[in-house]
Amino acid sequence: MTIADGILFTDHYQLTMAQFVRMGMAERRTQFDHTFRSYPDYGSHQAGYCVAAGLEPFLAWAQAARFGPAETAALRRLRTAGGAQLFADDFLAYLSEMGGFSGLDVWAVPEGRVVHPNAPITVVQGPMVQAQLIETPLLHFINFQTLIATKASRVIEAAHGGAVLEFGMRRAQNANAASRASIIGGAVGSSNTGLSAELGWESKGTHAHSMIQVFMAVAGGELEAFRAYADVYPDDCLLLVDTIDTLESGVPNAIRVFERLRREGHRPVGIRLDSGDLAHLAVRSAAMLDAAGFEDASIVLSSQLDELTIWQIRLQIADEASRYGVDADRLLRRLVYGVGSRMATSDGDPSLDGVYKVVAVEEAGEWVPAIKISNTPAKTVNPGAKRLWRVYDDRGRASADLMALPEDDLSVRPLELVHPTLPGVHRVLPAARVSRVESLLEQVVAGGRRVGERGGVTEARDRRVSDIERLDPGVRRLVNPHTYHVSVTPSLLAMKRQLIERFGPG
């Protein structure tokens, strides 16, 4: 780890606060909840759910991060406004001795699971100095990957069974994290070679315009370039057909090469369209490929795709295909989507508003709830060391996420769910309306050590698939989704109200 990637990958104020709490409260056990405040909102179309991701990379970082000699030396160089040493030697010695995050317990909603705003997706308990110090990296790792897994999940929903490949690394802000989260969100592969290798996945790709251009500059044209490429990759021949003119040059040349491959006993993979009206060109290309007997060749679409573009392309194809004698359903099934920047950066809303707030402090063995009151009620934290449950209805569909006090009995029926901020808004679920109540948070760190099942991106992908299936279709809508219920128990709301009365202004 370089100094910029190690334990100092954190906000300056985490360290000034650590030195401050060192004067008395450093060892006091504190609980922080990591929640996000709202679904990503891409402008015209806000998400109706999120997909958790980033936990495992965060935990790997936390296991490795240490205050070593380079870190304390860097901190020793910082000065106060008056020119004195900002961090006292005894504090630096304390950090060195502490090492890393050995005192923390962490609970989390596993990667790949569907999650909702204002309910904890990560919970940290431990000595205040450690629990506070870990805030920034926790937010950095989990906010971003959750953002991208969510966007990817929407793109995958829009593709409606069509394969989605992640092609975003050249314009991604953080390519490796984006590729990983896209795979958790449902992409079937990524062009990112190193990250794919690290995950044990096969990286995917075709070729670029440059290959054709070089041929054109020195040795003939597009057809010669395609032929040469097919010689090297006879069984993986996927040709980019828009370097000169898609319908006049690219597709006819590709078909010539495919015919030769077929004669030689190979199965051409397909073509890629990277510019122009992708829906129209897909229909026209399909007609040409079909006429030549290549009904199975894939058509890969790329160029500024996101969930709305894919949706619109599919609609246009459904309208336009028959005019060219193409079966729309069959064409839609052969499409593959190469999705780049817009998925890898979450274009439209490039940050998740995840926050990490103190919710409880231990006092003589008891958890005392803590609160931050905001003039915006939705920003007032749900206080206390609490549990997070998912309530399933009689059809097995997720009906609400429910925060509860540890002593709340969730087996009682009817089950009462109240809104965390809107007074009087509540639902009462009789036994017949509740098929299951599931605990969402799993312990992943105990006393600084990784516990529980580790799982990779494959397990996370599977969790997403089952959670999405259990969502109401209205919540899955791409535009104007139905609002999923995030509720609290009556006893949790009562405790929150007491704290607001005690600590509120006036």
Please give the residues from 159 up to 188 whose contact with a second copy meets the rule CB under 8 A: 167, 169-178
- By CB under 8 A, the residues from 29 to 48 that bind a second copy are 30, 32
By CB under 8 A, is residue 343 in contact with a second copy?
Answer: no
Under rule CB under 8 A, how many of the chain's residues touch a second copy? 127
**Which is closer to a second copy, CB of 83 or CB of 473?**
83
By CB under 8 A, is residue 205 in contact with a second copy?
Answer: yes
Q: What CA–CA distance (Å, rounded) separates 391 from 386?
A: 16
* Contact string (CB under 8 A) for a second copy, positions 245-274, x = contact: x--xx-----------------x-x-----
CA angle 495, 501, 506 (to 5 degrees): 165
By CB under 8 A, name the one of 85, 213, 421, 435 that touches a second copy.
213
By CB under 8 A, name the one of 79, 395, 413, 449 that touches a second copy.
79
Contact segment (CB under 8 A) with a second copy among 48-56, 198-206, 322-330, 410-418 equals: 198-206
By CB under 8 A, is residue 365 in contact with a second copy?
Answer: no
The token pair that represents 262 in the structure block: 């077929």
By CB under 8 A, name the one of 99, 194, 414, 423 that touches a second copy.
194
Place of tokens 């829009």: 158
Contact segment (CB under 8 A) with a second copy among 99-107, 214-222, 251-259, 391-399 equals: 214-222
By CB under 8 A, name the one of 122, 192, 285, 309 that touches a second copy.
192
By CB under 8 A, name the one of 118, 122, 130, 143 that touches a second copy.
143
Dihedral through CA 283, CA 234, CA 232, CA 248, nearest 10?
-30
Q: What CA–CA distance (Å, rounded) separates 381 from 156?
A: 33
Q: What CA–CA distance (Å, rounded) separates 246 from 299?
A: 13
Report the 10 Å Cβ neighbour count for 481: 20
Please, what is the minimum distance in Å from the beta carbon of residue 54 to a second copy? 11
Place of tokens 């950090």: 95
By CB under 8 A, is residue 244 in contact with a second copy?
Answer: yes
Answer whether 248's CB lies under 8 Å from 284's CB: no
Evaluate the omega torsion of the peptide bond into residue 430 and state whether it is cis, within 30 degrees of 0.
Answer: no
By CB under 8 A, name the one of 152, 336, 370, 415 that touches a second copy.
370
Closest CA to 139 of 125, 122, 118, 116: 122
Q: H/E element holding 329? A: helix 328-334
Report the 10 Å Cβ neighbour count for 244: 15
Contact segment (CB under 8 A) with a second copy among 221-229, 408-416, 418-426, 478-486 equals: 221-229
**Which is closer to a second copy, CB of 352 or CB of 415?**
352
By CB under 8 A, name the one of 93, 99, 102, 214 that touches a second copy.
214
Q: What CA–CA distance (Å, rounded) separates 129 from 134?
A: 9
Bridge-based pairing state of the strands 238-240 and 189-190: unpaired
CA angle 459, 190, 204 (to 5 degrees): 120
Place of tokens 């809107």: 422
The token pair that represents 283 in the structure block: 């229909």
By CB under 8 A, is residue 458 in contact with a second copy?
Answer: no
By CB under 8 A, name the one of 163, 216, 318, 437 that touches a second copy.
216
- By CB under 8 A, the residues from 283 to 342 that bind a second copy are 341-342
3-class DSSP state for residue 432? helix
**Which is closer to a second copy, CB of 167 or CB of 294?**
167
3-class DSSP state for residue 16? helix
By CB under 8 A, name the one of 69, 84, 366, 501 that touches a second copy.
84
Contact segment (CB under 8 A) with a second copy among 140-148, 305-313, 416-424, 440-448 equals: 140-148
Q: What CA–CA distance (Å, rounded) separates 264 from 235?
A: 11
By CB under 8 A, is residue 229 in contact with a second copy?
Answer: yes
Answer whether 287's CB lies under 8 Å from 275's CB: no
- By CB under 8 A, the residues from 99 to 138 that bind a second copy are 128, 132, 135-136
- DSSP result, 334-360: HEEEEE-HHHHTTTT-----EEEEEEE
By CB under 8 A, name the one of 47, 195, 286, 297 that touches a second copy.
195
By CB under 8 A, is residue 198 in contact with a second copy?
Answer: yes
By CB under 8 A, name the one of 326, 371, 400, 418 that touches a second copy.
371
CA angle 32, 58, 11 (to 5 degrees): 65
- By CB under 8 A, the residues from 424 to 443 that bind a second copy are none
**Which is closer to a second copy, CB of 243 or CB of 399?**
243
